[in-house]
Amino acid sequence: MPTNQTTAEAIRVMTICNACRYCEGHCAVFPAMERQTVFTQNNIDFLSNLCHQCGACYQHCQYADPHEFGINVPAVFEQARRESYTQFLWPTFMQPAVLHGGKFMATTLLLAISLFFLAIVGLSGMSKIFAPQVNFYNLMPHSVMAGAFSLSAVMVVVSWWMTLRRYWHSISLPSPGSIRMSTYRVALASALTLKNLDGGHGEGCYESGESPSLWKRRHHHLVLIGFVLCFFATLLGTFYHYSLNVPAPYGWLTLPKILGVTGGIMLLVGCAGLFWIKQTADQRLVSHDNGYGSSLTALLFLTSLTGLGLPIAKGTGALGFLLAVHLGCVLALFLNFAWGKFIHGFFRFIALLADEHQKTKKN
């Protein structure tokens, strides 16, 4: 495979880092780098996804600008990671979704909102959509929503399977069944605790300068936990609706509502925090991504905002329109799960798994 410009720069940087080795204690990248006998496209795809963009190695590097070596590991790895998402994405004709993430998000969002608006009009009639409504299932039945999103979920899972198995094979991991359970456990713990965002000393990232801070890690955790709570709220709601014959919508003190509202608020705060951190970050640590990184944060924020707005709009003429906007946000989010920034979590987990597997193989 021909080496592109980003990979060539990543190989140059890794070759210098491998001679220097000053940053060994910062994160998993540098010990993993030392285990490689040669730097290739495949192990740059592995090492770049192991990097969590904490910025510690850049702030501490004696060979960063203005030194003639101009070493900047986080910036080159951020670009290399995005290229790995593009390279392995399935189907390949969706690659522009990574290359132009902001435009992809805006277009899918607009189309999805229009689609749900038209579907509600088609199912209930134009007069009903702006009339005061108490229950939004009068506008679109639960079964229609569940059917549409179940189909979308199947599409997402197929896309993940195809994309991730390509990445898995490229970084030379053996079959999933031959990897030890303890390796999965350690990799999962590293992924869930965001261990590699602690700067190597537990004080956090250097995203906005020379002083470490734990805010990126905290906001990332808020988003992760908020997302999981909302996911369980949806599952539980579906279980109540179909298995217990307790139809939605649910009161404020029911379990699906408590999980959904708590998760929604955590998502709002976490996404706003991550957005703020990105805006104020040291721009030398990031590469221009055409809105790819922010698209996921924006969609999660809009989905939670409109989801939390639905019970508030109950009994008003705004409910129908807000429902179309909310469902449009959810559908655009599903498309982002398959072809947007969401897949970074899986790539990172597989890289952590490969790292742990290499370590245990060596011992």
List, in sequence order, every residue forming a beta bridge with 205; answer none if it has no partner.
Answer: 213
Compute φ and ψ for 213, nearest 5 degrees.
-150, 145
32 binds ligand SF4 (CB under 6 A): no
Binding to ligand SF4 in span 163-222, by CB under 6 A:
196
98 makes contact with ligand SF4 (CB under 6 A): no
Strand partners, 133: 316
Selected from 41, 52, 59, 354, the binder of ligand SF4 by CB under 6 A is 52
Smallest distance, ligand SF4 to C-beta of residue 206, A: 8
SS3 89: coil
Taking the C-alpha atoms of residue 100 and residue 105, their distance in angstroms, rounded to an integer, is 9
Taking the C-alpha atoms of residue 285 and residue 64, their distance in angstroms, rounded to an integer, is: 11
CB 276, CB 198: distance < 8 Å: no
Q: Which residues of 202-228 are buried (b: 16+ CB within 10 A; e: fewer)?
A: eebbbbbeeebbeebbbbbbbbbbbbe
Closer of 124 and 213 to ligand SF4 (Cβ): 213
Interface with ligand SF4, residue 343, by CB under 6 A:
no
Of 41, 49, 53, 163, the one binding ligand SF4 (CB under 6 A) is: 53
Angle 120-121-123 from CA coordinates, rounded to 5°: 65
Residue from the set 11, 44, 54, 222 that interacts with ligand SF4 by CB under 6 A? 54
Contacts with 84 (C-beta within 8 Å, 6 or more apart), sequence order? 45, 48, 49, 167, 347
Q: Which of 363, 52, 348 is nearest to 182 (CA)?
A: 363
Contact (CB, 8 A) for 163 and 89: yes
C-alpha span between 208 and 94 (Å, rounded): 33
159 makes contact with ligand SF4 (CB under 6 A): no
Which region among 56-64, 139-147, 296-304, 348-356 touches ligand SF4 (by CB under 6 A)? 56-64
Cβ neighbours of residue 103 under 8 Å, at least 6 residues apart? 290, 291
Binding residues for ligand SF4, total number by CB under 6 A:
24
The interface region with ligand SF4, picked from 69-77, 90-98, 159-167, 276-284 by CB under 6 A, is 69-77
286 binds ligand SF4, rule: CB under 6 A: no
Region binding ligand SF4 by CB under 6 A among candidate stretches 71-79, 153-161, 219-227, 312-320: 71-79
CB of residue 99 to ligand SF4, shortest distance in Å: 23
Report the residue number, 43 or 196, with the smaller CB distance to ligand SF4: 196
User: Tokens at residue 90, please?
Assistant: 């399935």
- Of the residues 44, 56, 97, 145, which one makes contact with ligand SF4 according to CB under 6 A: 56
Interaction of residue 74 with ligand SF4, rule CB under 6 A: yes
Rule CB under 6 A: is residue 75 a binding residue for ligand SF4? no
Does position 76 bind ligand SF4 by CB under 6 A? no
Give the per-residue contact string, 10-29, with ligand SF4 (x = CB under 6 A; - = no).
------xx--xxxx--xx-x
Which residues of this protein are in contact with ligand SF4, per CB under 6 A?
16-17, 20-23, 26-27, 29, 51-57, 60-63, 71, 73-74, 196
